[in-house]
Structure 1
Amino acid sequence: MDELFTYLLQFGSLNPQQLDLIATKATPLALPRDAYFLEAGQVSRRVGFLLEGVLRICYYNNQGQEITRNFIDEHHLTTNLRGLEDGLASAEYVQAVTDCRLLVFTKPDWDELAHTIVGWREMVHQMTTRHLHEKLARISPMVSQDATTRYREFLANYPQLANRIPLSYLASFLGMTQSSLSRIRRNIR
């Protein structure tokens, strides 16, 4: 629970009673490798805080190819905001890349925190803004870079992820085939 509190306190002040309330709403969840936290077509009804492991966000394109859009590592939240807030079905999957441990909040509990804790909505807004900035920083440079540069930058910026995710997922995320990624890796060594 301390990891969650440390994360939350980056975005605002919470008193001991508020922290106790948050703790009562969080439920531990063990998610085995390859299991889904959320599947396409489902409406998101929970928010997860990743304590341990790596999740990926993926979808299938028009040709039926699986595309990895993003990775989520420890001490980050995961949910489908449009689904959670607007009741819309997700077009993406959130899948465990490794065995994961999360703290999970149901939508009613998450909503109760918003109604009970003064400033909670602003904190959630700040968390969402930071997440979007991190995602843009990870994805934006890849548009104009060649494959080798994309891979090198991924290694430089996210060394903690490089050895924890399968090459097929990393290749998909970087916008290349697995054989191209293998060739790039061989040439870099």
Structure 2
Amino acid sequence: MEEMIAYFLKFGTLTKQQIELIVSKGQILELKKEDYFSEAGKIPRQVGFVIEGVIRGCYYNNKGEEITRCFINENSLVCDYVNFEANTVSSEYIQTITDCRLVVFSRKEWEELSLIIAGWDPIKNKMVQLCMHQKSRKGPVISQDATTRYLEFMENYPLLVNRIPLSNIASYLGVTQQSLSRIRKNIR
């Protein structure tokens, strides 16, 4: 929980009592590799903070191909926030890539923090803005060659290169696993 509080404090000031209240509202959730935090066709019900592990946002295109849109790792907020706020059905999946440990807040708990803590909304809004920016971060520019896209991935996600399956990286880059293997071999 200390990591989560340190993260929250990057965006504003909280008193000791406010921090205690936030901690009391959060619940620890452990998910196994390939579990879903949020699923397409369902309304997102919680906001999470990743303590341990890696998660990805993904969807299926009109050809039925799985496309990885973003990666979320430790010390980050995770949520399909637009659909969470609107209480609407999601079209994307948020799935664990590794075993994960999160602190989660239900809709009720998340909304109660806004009602009880003066100054929580500006902190929350800044965190949500960063979360949405990370989630909507432009995927690799397809007009770039695949090697350039992979080098950018390594620059943007240096700690993930050896933690997640090549299939997820390939999906994110818009290349086949075989192409990705060739690219990695040529870079070394």
Question: TM-score, normalising length from structure 1?
Answer: 0.94
Deviations 1:11-42 (A, max 9, x none): 00000010000010010011000111111111
* Partner Cα separation in structure 1 for residue 36 and residue 132 of structure 2: 22
Q: What are structure 1's unaligned runs of at least 5 residues?
A: none
Q: What are structure 2's unaligned runs of at least 5 residues?
A: none
CA positional deviation for 1:168:
0.7
Question: TM-score, normalising length from structure 2?
Answer: 0.95
Residue in structure 2 matched with residue 161 of structure 1 by the alignment: 160
3-state SS of the aligned residue for 1:165?
A: coil
* Partner Cα separation in structure 1 for residue 170 and residue 119 of structure 2: 40
Equivalent position amino acid for 1:86 in 2 = A
CA positional deviation for 1:135:
4.9
CA RMSD of aligned residues (A): 1.5
Change (3 A) 1:67 1:31: same
Alignment of 1:1-189 (within 5 A): 1-135=1-135, 139=138, 142-189=141-188
* Partner Cα separation in structure 2 for residue 27 and residue 181 of structure 1: 38
- Work out the number of aligned pairs and report it: 188
CA positional deviation for 1:153:
1.8
Change (3 A) 1:32 1:107: same
- Greater shift, 17-26 or 178-187, is seen at 178-187
Equivalent position amino acid for 1:9 in 2 = L
* Partner Cα separation in structure 2 for residue 55 and residue 140 of structure 1: 16
User: Following TM superposition, where does structure 1 have runs of at least 4 consecutive aligned residues deviating by more than 6 angstroms?
Assistant: none
CA positional deviation for 1:132:
4.0
Q: Is the contact made by 1:45 and 1:83 (CA closer than 8 Å) also made in structure 2?
A: no
- Greater shift, 142-151 or 2-11, is seen at 142-151
* Partner Cα separation in structure 2 for residue 145 and residue 57 of structure 1: 22
Q: Is the contact made by 2:54 and 2:97 (CA closer than 8 Å) also made in structure 1?
A: yes
> Percent identity, aligned pairs only?
53
Q: Which has the higher helix share?
A: 1
Equivalent position amino acid for 2:185 in 1 = R
